Amino acid sequence: MLRSLVWLSLGTFAIGTEGFMIAGILPAMAADLDVSVAMAGHLVTCFALVYAISAPLTAVATASLPRKRVLALAIAAFALANLLAAAAPNYAWLMASRVLLALSAAAFTPSATGTAAMIAPPEKRGRAIAIIYGGMTVAVVIGVPLGTILADHLGWRATFVGVAVLSVLALVGIMSQLPRVAAPPAASLAERFALARRPEVLSILGLTVLAVGGAFSASTYAGVLLKNVFGASPQVIALALLVLGLGSAAGNVFGGFAADRLNHRRFIMAALVTLILNFAAMSLAATFAPNQAGLVVVMVTLGLWGLFGWAMTPVQQVRLVTVDPPLAAVSLSLNSSAFYLGTALGAAAGAAAIDLASVTAIGWTAALFELAGLALFTITARAGRRLALAPG
């Protein structure tokens, strides 16, 4: 039964590759479409914002449909949107393609995770969900660097064609191998908003937005920074993205350990402080050491972001589940929306930093996001302790 989930994992691999590969091909896209790098970065903002808004709406709209049909339609639409992106004659066309990409991804990924949990026996549920998220992790480690190399040899449009092919393969596997799964009991939109309004949930979601915003204000433009400041070749940029991917894979494992074994408050504070210093080092290296030594520093900062940034995700998810275990599926879907809202804000903030200052400012922008996250976490943690200690 679990072997059929490989096709869902291939779908998340395609979605992850398309979403994260933008960092490596952004300079080429901007030049070909005759727009600024900051304007090209809004392609990331658009995708993330549409995903964040549409994910809960799509979940409610498709609640009564069989999961296999939802998954097949979503990944088919994703394949079509990639082909439209590959054929884009101008910026507006590509932006419209990104909207369709976001809508289809927002329909596929949460449904794939829920399906994995439903068809697996209880004792294998965690393993089933790990298979789905494994596709996203492999995308960061392998898909993104390969996409950058493919773009260097065949042009950035070829990367979208490649993702479309992966999506079609996933569609064939889903149609032929995935068992039929009935529509699960679904929370209404009102129930989702009611949960999101709870102070303890809001504080966790707010931290996700700020922490992810910092990461993507820097990582979205990492390829531009490496190319414009350090003169890095596409091969070096691909290597840097591989370092980021390996750090992210290690971060997933580290985060799972931290969520089960370590004090959540202390771990999150340590991770945020590390990320603040890490992103500040990125801008310092780009400003004062635009040479080989600085290039090494930036690569190290990308690896450390992958390690600590991705390690926070499992901890945040466990914190949300602990708030109200019966509503875990709803709270985790809200966290997914918060993740993409942070992505949108971060990409937009990075673009503004480049326009107002230069690409070397993206590290400072990211550090400010993480500093705001640390402030929010410190304030809400203290408030939570006071409530816990209050007589009552």
Enter the DSSP assignment of 62: T
CA distances from 204 to 21, 249, 386 (A): 28, 23, 17
Length of the chain: 392
The pTM for the full model equals 0.81
What does the pLDDT profile of the chain (392 residues) look like in tens digits?
557 788 998 999 999 898 888 878 888 899 999 999 889 888 988 998 999 888 888 877 887 788 889 999 999 999 999 999 999 999 999 999 999 999 999 989 888 877 876 777 766 665 676 677 778 778 877 887 888 888 888 999 999 999 999 999 999 999 998 888 766 666 666 777 787 788 888 999 999 999 999 999 998 899 899 999 999 998 898 899 889 888 988 887 788 788 788 898 999 999 999 999 999 999 999 999 999 999 999 999 999 998 999 888 888 877 887 887 766 667 767 888 898 899 889 999 999 999 999 999 999 999 999 999 999 999 988 766 654 444 44
Nearest to 282 by CA among 342, 350, 335: 350
Structural domains in the chain? 1-184 (1.20.1250.20), 187-392 (1.20.1250.20)
Contacts of 84 (CB under 8 A, 6+ apart): 93, 96, 97, 100
Rounded distance between C-alpha atoms, residue 243 and residue 20, angstroms: 14
Rounded distance between C-alpha atoms, residue 273 and residue 271, angstroms: 6
Query: What's the token pair of residue 33?
Result: 């479409």
Contacts of 148 (CB under 8 A, 6+ apart): 21, 24, 25, 223, 234, 237, 238, 241
